[in-house]
Structure 1
Amino acid sequence: MDLTEDIARHFARIALGHVVRPYPYKDDHVFEGDHDVRPPREAHPVFFGSFDWHSCVHGWWTLLTLRRLYPHMPEAAEIAALAETTFTDEKLAVELAYLDRTYSRSFERPYGWAWLLYLHHEAVRHGDRDWGARLEPLARAFAKQFRDYLRTLTYPITVGSHYNSAFALTLAREWAQERDSVLVATIDEWALAAYGQRRDYAGWEPGGDEFLSPVLSVAMLMSRIMPQLQYAPWLDGLVLSNGWVERECRPVTVSDRSDGKIAHLDGLNLSRAWNLRAASRALGDHFAQELLEARAQEHLEAAMPHVAGDYMGEHWLASFALLALLEKS
């Protein structure tokens, strides 16, 4: 399954419909007093839509990515026009100032941080616009927070939700490769210490409301860090030789897509497809490639029909579908 212009236009229409939709909105805000009560648009004039801050950020990543890949589709001009009125210096200054609040140290950590870096990474690719330059101060601020955070994060967070360490570091590392060698080195050192000796995964997966695989998120990150000759035996010892991928890694069932937490499971199918494709590519010529590709395809086919439908999934699933579709083996 590949990304086509029809799919791109479908995803673009979805994202255009929610990045500026103000409500419903789930706020990640610590109120310091009655004076601090305000609508989300005042604190976050750029990322106020899409149900929550981080979903708005990666909704914008979806839009800019699709605009770059299909610059002549009808939605591309609409994306550019909306971005021009959204990514203004004035609005972005408010987003940046929010990070200086007393209780903003853990705001959107680490998931939203990583997506903001990934959005900036994409924005820079649009050479006909200065969106990358406008977003850079905010991206640099989050990069600094990542460096500080990894110095104090003693243990990896291995849940399958927004707090997952490996997922965030995968996106952050891709941003940093061209811009922040210190952050790349910090991520690599931390990840090798946290995951490099892990073997024989036997976690109770999937969790009932998770959208990330704890183990495959790590496999994704390590595929970016380890050379192939090191990665192949590491992955084999983690999830292949013990039969986990063959036995346990099957598409999951979503019982209620109107429940925002249970709808996360559609995202698990998509993120697993992304992870499995990346692992297959990193292995090179390996006996497990066919298995990983087959599992990736199964997960992708299970989730793609449900990217749109109920807003609880629709406000974010296209981003994860796009990640999976762009990851080629």
Structure 2
Amino acid sequence: MGALNADTASQMARIALGHVAREYPHKLDHVLLRDEDARTPGDLHPVFFGSFDWHSCVHGWWSLLTLSRLFPNIAEAAEIERLADATFTAEKLAAERAYLDRPLSTGFERPYGWAWLLMLHLEAERHGDKGWGSGMEPLARAFADRFRAYLPILTYPIRAGTHFNTAFALFLALQWGERFDTALAGLIRERASAWFCGDRDAQAWEPSGDDFLSPTLTEALLMSSVLPPGEFASWFAEFLPRLDQKEPATLFAPATVSDRSDGKIAHLDGLNISRAWCWRELGHPQFAENHLEAALPHLSGDYMGEHWLQSFALLALLSGT
């Protein structure tokens, strides 16, 4: 599965179809205020109830819509369309939107799920004849509003290699903002510049034990979208000044995954894939291949990785096309 072609797309689609409508096991991001709040994932989230957790279901759907658009003749495309039509209904999407108005929901899926929902909406809009994008727009706008409220009060960026990473969320959200909300795109650029423009000589103290993102490379990826090309080249040369010596060495060595049945340790397969994605996007594909070779064979086989890794593999393979 080293190249994005029809066979690879079909394999990926089968993986995602196997989990976006699989309700259990499930890990909720849900605050209970009373007994009646104890409800099933499908009752709380009639659209994004699968894939072990809400955000993985969102980017599982992003994968499916992306694959069906790029490869409309694969056997799975018709099943994807049927399932999307049954899932992205006005009533179900309205229930997802209404969930955001619950008390203590401000931090729901912040910021990772927010950003992936915007990416899903961006992809859904590319299927203009289906109406999925227009139906999803109120939900996307609600998350954009949350970004607008959140970014000005976030004094410090979050540099963890997990769902809370600021740079990753802003990189995805910026793509949506450039098409649908130029004010949000401007805010993202302003905050990213304030937080990251002064960074020099990154030490890359990674990976941590449950990283699936490289804080170092994800920051660089965001700045490649925020700065003009010439300014980015100068910034990047100072951010990783010993790139030609392959230092810091940790950025070039795939992480070891000791137990793929452990959901947190399995994150490290995602780290390898997301590093490959970043290296390719940053124009250094020669540093990506060993990371891909280490992780791509493990997209399925254990549900702790199977419910989400494929989306990151798709990001990485798309960056090579």
What TM-score, normalized by structure 2, do the two folds share? 0.97
Specify the code of the residue in structure 1 equivalent to 2:135.
R
In structure 2, what is the Cα distance between the partners aligned to 1:154 and 1:91? 36
Residue 67 (1) aligns with residue 68 (2): yes
Residue 320 (1) aligns with residue 312 (2): yes
Superposition RMSD on alpha carbons, in Å?
1.1
The 8 Å contact of residues 209 and 265 in structure 1, kept in 2 or not, is answered as: yes
Q: Report how far residue 248 of structure 1 moved.
A: 2.2
In structure 2, what is the Cα distance between the partners aligned to 1:32 and 1:124? 36
Q: 2:285 aligns with which of 282, 285, 293?
A: 293
The 8 Å contact of residues 203 and 248 in structure 2, kept in 1 or not, is answered as: no
Aligned to 2:205: 204
The 8 Å contact of residues 159 and 165 in structure 2, kept in 1 or not, is answered as: yes
Residue 251 (1) aligns with residue 254 (2): yes
Aligned to 2:165: 164
The 3-state SS of whatever aligns with 2:288 is helix
In structure 1, what is the Cα distance between the partners aligned to 2:233 and 2:3? 26
In structure 2, what is the Cα distance between the partners aligned to 1:10 and 1:108? 28
Aligned to 2:4: 3
Length, aligned pairs only: 318
Aligned to 1:270: 273
Specify the code of the residue in structure 2 equivalent to 1:253.
T
List alignment gaps of at least 5 residues for structure 1: 281-291
What TM-score, normalized by structure 1, do the two folds share? 0.95
In structure 1, what is the Cα distance between the partners aligned to 2:247 and 2:288? 11
Aligned to 2:263: 260
Aligned to 1:103: 104
Specify the code of the residue in structure 2 equivalent to 1:162.
H
Residue 310 (1) aligns with residue 295 (2): no
Q: Report how far residue 245 of structure 1 moved.
A: 4.3
Q: How does 1:73-222 map to 2 (within 5 A)?
A: 73-222=74-223
Q: Which moved more, 1:40-49 or 1:247-256?
A: 247-256
Q: Report how far residue 128 of structure 1 moved.
A: 2.3
Deviations 1:55-81 (A, max 9, x none): 000000000000000101110000000
In structure 2, what is the Cα distance between the partners aligned to 1:91 and 1:247? 48
The 8 Å contact of residues 170 and 188 in structure 2, kept in 1 or not, is answered as: yes
The 3-state SS of whatever aligns with 2:208 is coil
List alignment gaps of at least 5 residues for structure 2: none
In structure 1, what is the Cα distance between the partners aligned to 2:247 and 2:12? 30
In structure 1, what is the Cα distance between the partners aligned to 2:247 and 2:136? 39
The 3-state SS of whatever aligns with 1:178 is helix
Q: Report how far residue 328 of structure 1 moved.
A: 3.0
In structure 1, what is the Cα distance between the partners aligned to 2:217 and 2:247? 10
The 8 Å contact of residues 266 and 305 in structure 2, kept in 1 or not, is answered as: yes
In structure 2, what is the Cα distance between the partners aligned to 1:99 and 1:171? 20
Instruction: Provide runs of 4+ in structure 1 moved above 6 Å.
Output: none
